[in-house]
């Protein structure tokens, strides 16, 4: 039997209620006012009592039919009772009871038919709504999966199936764990589902072919009328492009930071270059001012030497020492003037040993102040190398100065130069030994050893980075080695730093000799 809940009840409008009351009142008043005189008209008036049944059945379903029948029977019974009290005889007795039977039958028929029609209409509306929802889900570009509380897939839209390489038919009935990497999907108990209600996360899903892709998942728990979880709706968005854009943005950010660092480094080099130029101009001025008094002193020493008598041996030795000292000072002054003079970057064949000697003379005072002894192992008759003497002198002064600073308590600085022939593998690749063959070219190597503190192994890879320095704050800019590395690269040479086993650092610069000269 159909229950009241099978039909969606509607509220009864006031006009329908008024019409129902009037339909019941008309036959009652007519029967009491004109007993026995209405004939068939009275029967027709009693048929008006069917109106409430129609109306209430339409608005309230079976409940409305029951109410209409009950009220109708009560009104008929009340009419008979009132007629008896008034001493009136309603002559349409048999017709009256026939009307009652017909009334009840028609009312029940109306109620059943209305309820059936209403249920069918309701089901049709529900089905139309369901079809619209399914169609909407199927047209979504976002993947949607509906599972029961046991994680079995009961619905999947085409986007979800397509993203994972399946058809919809292959997914329905499967466990949703097929989307997750092995062992990554944790089942949730009903109490956990009730507590979660909804949650979002980024994850990795697996396609049918085993490949993986990043996804953004949003899950919502579906609750029954009693509040118990009955299913889970999960949307799945493929975020591969978003992740790739994030990586591109991170790369661009790193490149921007690197460019910014390079720009800062260039700016600092320009500042240092400007400072060096200013120092160079100042040094040139000072050198000229000092050179003139030195010439006066040297001239005086020569005149005194000429006027000495043969018996003044000690004085002659003293004057010779003064002459040597003035000559050394003049050499330093000439070196400063040459260092301060602007130079174009031009490579010409140079003697590397000569540049080493000039550079050492410019740092001799620094070495003496730090109690650093010098050991020179310069090979004679080195092949000439295409160099820019000024730039290489700048590199060597930086290396010598760094070595002296690494020996604050004193030590030994060793400068070594030598050449070696360039070797290459035998041209015959099938040679058993593939012996090295000598070529007509040779490498010219300069090594600078110190007995200082060395460089931490984890810092060796960073020493050529701009602004990197192991010196305390205010003791170095971190640009010297970076500039030196660039100068060496400009010469087509190589430079390497290596910690010595006995302490200190060995710097090796390898030049290719000028074989054409």
What are 50-79's pLDDT values in tens digits? 676 666 666 665 565 666 666 666 666 676
Q: What are phi and psi of 222, to 5 degrees?
A: -95, 125
pLDDT at 418: 93
Across-strand partners of 510?
445, 494
137 DSSP assignment:
H
Are the C-beta atoms of residues 248 and 447 closer than 8 Å to each other?
no
Across-strand partners of 155?
146
510 DSSP assignment:
E
Q: Are residues 353 and 479 in the same domain?
A: yes
Are the C-beta atoms of residues 349 and 384 closer than 8 Å to each other?
yes
Of 417, 399, 323, 388, the C-alpha closest to 362 is: 399
Q: Final residue of a domain: which of 136, 168, 186?
A: 136
What's the rounded mean pLDDT across residues 335-345?
A: 60
| Continuous H helices in 140-239 | 158-163, 168-171, 190-196
Kindly report, residue by residue over 93-142, the tens digit of the pLDDT: 445 555 555 555 565 566 566 666 666 766 777 777 777 877 777 778 88
- Residue 325's pLDDT band, with cuts at 50, 70 and 90, is confident
Q: Is 187 among the domain residues?
A: yes
Q: Are residues 352 and 247 in the same domain?
A: no
CATH, residue 326 = 1.10.287
CATH, residue 448 = 3.30.565.10
Q: What are phi and psi of 320, to 5 degrees?
A: -65, -40
Are the C-beta atoms of residues 517 and 349 closer than 8 Å to each other?
yes
Determine the Cα–Cα distance for residues 512 and 510; give it in Å rounded to an integer. 7
Q: Are residues 407 and 502 in the same domain?
A: yes
Q: Is 50 among the domain residues?
A: yes
Q: Are residues 393 and 465 in the same domain?
A: yes
Q: pLDDT higher for 45 or 257?
A: 257
Q: Are residues 259 and 327 in the same domain?
A: yes
Determine the Cα–Cα distance for residues 217 and 204; give it in Å rounded to an integer. 10
Residue found by looking up tokens 């000269």 in the block: 517
Residues 6+ apart with CB under 8 A from 320: 305
Q: Are residues 155 and 247 in the same domain?
A: no
Q: Final residue of a domain: which of 309, 324, 342?
A: 342
Are the C-beta atoms of residues 247 and 265 closer than 8 Å to each other?
no
Share of the chain above pLDDT 90, in %: 14
Q: What token pair was written down for 441?
A: 């070219």
Residue found by looking up tokens 């008598």 in the block: 309
First to last CA, the chain: 117
Long-range CB contact pairs, 34-37, < 8 A, 24+: 35/83, 35/88, 35/89, 35/90, 35/91, 36/89, 36/90, 36/91, 36/92
**Among positive and negative, which fits the CA dihedral 420, 425, 427, 430?**
positive
Q: What token pair was written down for 182?
A: 């092995």
Determine the Cα–Cα distance for residues 137 and 310; give it in Å rounded to an integer. 120
Q: pLDDT higher for 206 or 46?
A: 206
Q: Are residues 444 and 416 in the same domain?
A: yes
Q: Are residues 188 and 291 in the same domain?
A: no
Residue 13 has pLDDT above 50, yes or no: yes
Q: pLDDT higher for 493 or 91?
A: 493
How many domains are there within the chain?
A: 4
Of 39, 16, 48, the C-alpha closest to 91 is: 39
Residue 423 has pLDDT above 80, yes or no: no
Q: Are residues 356 and 481 in the same domain?
A: yes
Q: Are residues 373 and 332 in the same domain?
A: no
Chain centre to alpha carbon of residue 448: 45
pLDDT at 277: 64
Q: Are residues 66 and 128 in the same domain?
A: yes
Q: Are residues 223 and 159 in the same domain?
A: yes
pLDDT at 4: 43
Most confident of 16-25, 206-215, 216-225: 206-215
pLDDT at 427: 46
Question: For the whole prediction, is pTM greater than 0.85?
Answer: no
- Residue 307's pLDDT band, with cuts at 50, 70 and 90, is confident
What's the rounded mean pLDDT across residues 366-378?
A: 90
pLDDT at 472: 46
Q: Final residue of a domain: which of 221, 238, 255?
A: 238
Most confident of 43-47, 164-168, 454-458: 164-168
CATH, residue 163 = 3.30.450.20
Q: Is 517 among the domain residues?
A: no
Most confident of 258-262, 370-374, 433-437: 370-374
Q: Is 262 among the domain residues?
A: yes
User: Which of 13-17, 204-208, 473-477 is least confident?
Assistant: 473-477
What mean pLDDT is reported for the chain? 75
Q: pLDDT higher for 135 or 166?
A: 166
Determine the Cα–Cα distance for residues 313 and 285; give it in Å rounded to an integer. 38
Print the domain residue range for 252: 243-342
Q: Is 315 among the domain residues?
A: yes
380 DSSP assignment:
S
Q: Is 177 among the domain residues?
A: yes
Phi-psi region of 156 (alpha: psi -120 to 50; beta: other; left: phi over 0): beta
H/E stretch holding 479 reads none
Residue found by looking up tokens 């509220």 in the block: 11
Are the C-beta atoms of residues 411 and 460 closer than 8 Å to each other?
no
pLDDT at 8: 53
């Amino acid at each position: 039997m159909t229950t009241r809940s099978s039909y969606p009840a509607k509220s009864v409008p006031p006009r329908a209620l008024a019409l129902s009351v009037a339909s019941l009142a008309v036959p009652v008043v007519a029967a009491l006012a004109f007993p026995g005189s209405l004939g068939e008209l009275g029967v027709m008036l009693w048929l008006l009592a069917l109106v409430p049944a129609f109306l209430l059945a339409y608005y309230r379903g079976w409940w409305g039919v029951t109410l209409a029948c009950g009220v109708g029977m009560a009104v008929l019974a009340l009419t008979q009772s009132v007629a008896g009290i008034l001493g009136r005889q309603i002559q349409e007795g048999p017709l009256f009871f026939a009307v009652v039977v017909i009334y009840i039958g028609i009312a029940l028929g109306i109620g059943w038919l209305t309820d059936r029609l209403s249920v069918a209409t309701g089901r049709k509306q529900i089905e139309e709504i369901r079809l619209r929802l399914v169609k909407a889900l199927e047209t979504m570009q976002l993947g949607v999966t509906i599972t029961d509380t046991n994680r079995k897939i009961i619905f999947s839209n085409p986007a979800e199936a397509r993203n994972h390489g399946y058809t919809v038919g292959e997914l329905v009935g499967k466990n949703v764990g097929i989307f997750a990497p092995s062992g990554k999907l944790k089942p949730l108990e009903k109490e956990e589902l009730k507590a979660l209600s909804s949650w979002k996360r980024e994850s990795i899903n697996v396609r049918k072919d085993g490949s993986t892709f990043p996804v953004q998942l949003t899950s919502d728990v579906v609750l029954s009328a009693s509040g118990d979880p009955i299913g889970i709706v999960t949307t799945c968005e493929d975020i591969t492009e978003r992740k790739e854009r994030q990586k591109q943005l991170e790369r661009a950010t790193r490149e921007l930071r690197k460019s910014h660092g390079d720009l800062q480094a260039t700016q600092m080099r320009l500042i240092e270059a400007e400072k060096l130029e200013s120092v160079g101009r100042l040094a040139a001025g000072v050198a000229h001012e000092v050179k003139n008094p030195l010439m006066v002193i040297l001239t005086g020493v020569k005149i005194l030497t000429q006027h000495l008598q043969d018996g003044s041996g000690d004085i002659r030795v003293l004057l010779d020492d003064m002459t040597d000292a003035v000559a050394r000072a003049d050499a330093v002054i000439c070196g400063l003037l040459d260092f301060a003079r602007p130079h174009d970057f031009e490579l010409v064949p140079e003697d590397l040993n000569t540049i080493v000697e000039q550079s050492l003379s410019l740092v001799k005072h620094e070495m003496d102040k730090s109690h650093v002894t010098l050991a020179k192992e310069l090979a004679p008759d080195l092949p000439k190398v295409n160099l820019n003497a000024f730039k290489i002198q700048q590199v060597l002064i930086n290396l010598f100065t760094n070595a002296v600073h690494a020996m604050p308590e004193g030590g030994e600085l060793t400068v070594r130069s030598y050449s070696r022939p360039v070797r290459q593998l035998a041209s015959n690749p099938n040679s058993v030994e593939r012996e090295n063959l000598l070529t007509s070219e040779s490498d010219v190597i300069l090594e600078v050893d110190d007995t200082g503190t060395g460089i931490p192994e984890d810092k060796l890879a960073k020493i050529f980075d701009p602004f990197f320095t192991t010196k305390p704050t205010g003791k170095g800019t971190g640009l010297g080695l970076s500039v030196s590395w660039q100068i060496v690269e400009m010469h087509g040479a190589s430079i390497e730093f290596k910690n010595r086993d006995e302490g200190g650092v060995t710097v090796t610069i390898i030049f290719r000799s000028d074989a054409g000269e």
